[in-house]
Amino acid sequence: MTRSKSMRWLVTLLAILMLALALAACGAPAAQETVGEEAPAATEASAAEAATEEAPAEEASTEEAPAEEAAAPEGDVIKIGALAPLSAPGAVVGGEAMVDAMRIAEDELNANGGILGRPVEVVIADSEGLPERGTAAMEKLINQDNVVAIGGGYHSSVGVAAKEVAHDNGIPVVFAETWNDTITSSMLPEIFRIAPLNSEVSAVDVRFLTSLPYPIEKVVILTENTDYGIPAAESTTSGLAEAGIDATTFTVDIGTQDYAGIIERVRAENPDFIMVLATGEASYNFEQQAAEAGIGPQDVPMLCNQVSLESQAFWTNVPDGNDCFVRRVGLPVDLYNDVATSFAERYSERTGKQAPESYALEAYDSIMIIAQAIEEAGTTDPAAIIDALENITYVGALGEITFPVNSSNPPDVAGKDPKWWHQFPNPAITIVQYQEEGQDSNDSPVVFPEEYKTGDIVWVGRTE
């Protein structure tokens, strides 16, 4: 072994670096923009957008797949795609519930003669809760399965990444349970959403807190370090700050099990109200461990996470969770319309659960609204479906859905924030409270807002 030999390796490595450098130097700039005279405040064109502007991908690809469809004989299956997390690290529970709901939609459509007289197939793709897998799944749905439109969708990070794939291919997507504002605020023509906006949900939470007749000065927020948890905590904090309420946010990693250390800190903050924005088992772990440590829902008023709506899992995991407030998306059960009632029946029959979760309702509607749009468009051409979706008035399990801010009424004309683009403007958001141990969330009284109220609050916190 000599030094010169090892020098050879170093030289080789250097040579490779130089090669890469040369390559880099030749490479064109990734994106370029000029601050123009008319629009000095032009938003910086991201590379992806700039690229799609150049390539007329929308028109090109909208012709391909459906052209075959149109030429196909009657009776050809119409495929509607669906994204759902079915493997870890995704939220498998949510994903499976959504799949059940979408299968019900599929059965119902086929039982009623299909769409345009043709049978319907809902093709499910597993997003695994990972953006990179989500884009792959989207790719598969569009290019392998030749779906004409896509519903479902659970994780915000997946939605944010997958919407670009849909946009590149010009395939309409109706997102069911992705709350992140950017999904609609990027104003892609193909992207619709029937889930609430994250910022709107936070606004409901803040309104709920400020409407209470009890003194609330200090709120503790427990959130997860995800793209759902962080923006939700931030917009809630800023909303609370406007109302003069001080909030401290504790962020946890979603895999955390032992909350003893955090719970002591929360106790030391001496909160008047605790909000749990961490989802899944993290929320269950925190709620139950807080209860055992004496600052649970029966000691300090607590907004438990929306996953707590699944009553059976909630009571198994948080046996001491009585008096929890839970935010709920969708109409209260006693205001269910016919669609929701009949869906709920079939859902219980299929899954054995007592009532559908809000994401099941949304998933069902996301498929059904696409079906109606295809029916109204009279064709499976994606551009026509998008057109139909923009003008649709659909009555589903969530109530009447429209997309008032659309290409004929863009946000700057409507005077709305871009986040309202293709967004279902008024999903019902209510706060219910578990008031008896083992109670079903659908039997629990709605305590907020006034128009849906069915019961009075049981207040465990300080009243002075």
Partner 1 sequence: MSGRINYVSWGLAALGIILLLLAPLRIADSPYIMHLAITAFFYAILASSWSLLAGYGGQFSFGHMAFMAIGAYTAALYGTYVRISTVATELCREIPFFGRWLVILNPIGVTQDGQTCLDLAKPTMPPGTVIVQPSIWWGVLFGIIMGGLFGILIGALVLRLRSTYLALFTIAFSEILRAVISAELNITRGQSGLELPPLFPNGVTFFGYTFSSTSKIPPYYVMLLFFLFTMAFMAWLIAGRFGLFIRSIREDEEAAAALGVHVVRYKVLLFTITAMIAASAGAIQAHYIGIITPNILLILQMSLVISMAVIGGLESIVAAAIGAIIIEFALELLRVSFDIGPFTVDMTTWRLVFFGLLLMLTLRFFRNGLIHPIILYFTRRGVADETVAKRNVKSEM
Partner 2 sequence: MDNAAILGWTLLWLVVWGAIGGIVTPRIYARKDLDISDAPLGGAIIGAAFGPFGLIPLWIVTPGFSMRWLVAAGMVILGIIAFAFSKAYPTNLCVTDGSYVTSQLANGLVIGIIYSLMALGLTLIFSILGVVSFAHGEFYMIGGYVVYVMSTSVFAQDMSPLVWLLGAAVVTFVLGAIFEVFFLRVMGTGKIERPVEYAILVTFGLSFFLQYLAQAIMGASPVKATRFWDFPVMALPSAENPWFLKTTKGSLTLFEVIRIPNARFTSAILAVILLLALMWFLYRTWQGRGLRAVSQDRQAASVAGINPNNMNTLAFAMGAMLAGLSGASLVQVFSWLPQVGVPAAARSFVIIVLGGMGSLPGAFLGGLIVGVVETMGTGCVPDPSRAAAYMPAYGMIILTLTLLLKPTGLFGREL
User: Could you tell me the smallest distance in angstroms from the CB atom of residue 317 to partner 2?
Assistant: 5
| Residue 135 engages partner 1 in binding (rule: CB under 8 A) | yes
Are 359 and 310 contacting, i.e. CB atoms less than 8 angstroms apart? no
- Which positions from 256 to 275 touch partner 2 by CB under 8 A, shown as an x/- string? xxx-xxx-xx--x-------
Q: Which does 93 bind (CB under 5 to 8 A by kind): partner 2, partner 1, none?
A: partner 2
CA–CA distance, 199 with 190 (Å, rounded to integer):
22
* Binding residues among 236-255 for partner 1 as defined by CB under 8 A: 251, 253-254
| Residue 14 engages partner 1 in binding (rule: CB under 8 A) | no
User: Could you tell me the smallest distance in angstroms from the CB atom of residue 432 to partner 2?
Assistant: 21
CA–CA distance, 8 with 4 (Å, rounded to integer):
6
| Residue 87 engages partner 1 in binding (rule: CB under 8 A) | yes
| Residue 442 engages partner 2 in binding (rule: CB under 8 A) | no
| Residue 186 engages partner 1 in binding (rule: CB under 8 A) | no
β 246-252/273-276 pair status: unpaired
- Contact segment (CB under 8 A) with partner 1 among 51-59, 114-122, 305-313, 346-354 equals 51-59
CA–CA distance, 371 with 448 (Å, rounded to integer):
33
Cα three-residue angle 372-307-211, rounded to 5 degrees: 95
Half-sphere exposure of 80 (CA within 13 A, CB side): 35
| Residue 349 engages partner 1 in binding (rule: CB under 8 A) | no
User: Could you tell me the smallest distance in angstroms from the CB atom of residue 266 to partner 1?
Assistant: 19
DSSP per position, 320-357: T-TT-EEEEES--GGG--HHHHHHHHHHHHHH--SS--
User: Could you tell me the smallest distance in angstroms from the CB atom of residue 104 to partner 2?
Assistant: 19
CA–CA distance, 243 with 246 (Å, rounded to integer):
9
* Binding residues among 191-230 for partner 2 as defined by CB under 8 A: 225
User: Could you tell me the smallest distance in angstroms from the CB atom of residue 321 to partner 1?
Assistant: 26
Q: Which does 389 bind (CB under 5 to 8 A by kind): partner 2, partner 1, none?
A: none
Q: Which residues contact 445 (CB under 8 A, 6 or more apart)?
A: 432, 433, 435, 453, 454, 455, 456
Q: Toward partner 1, which CB reaches closer, 2 or 463?
A: 2
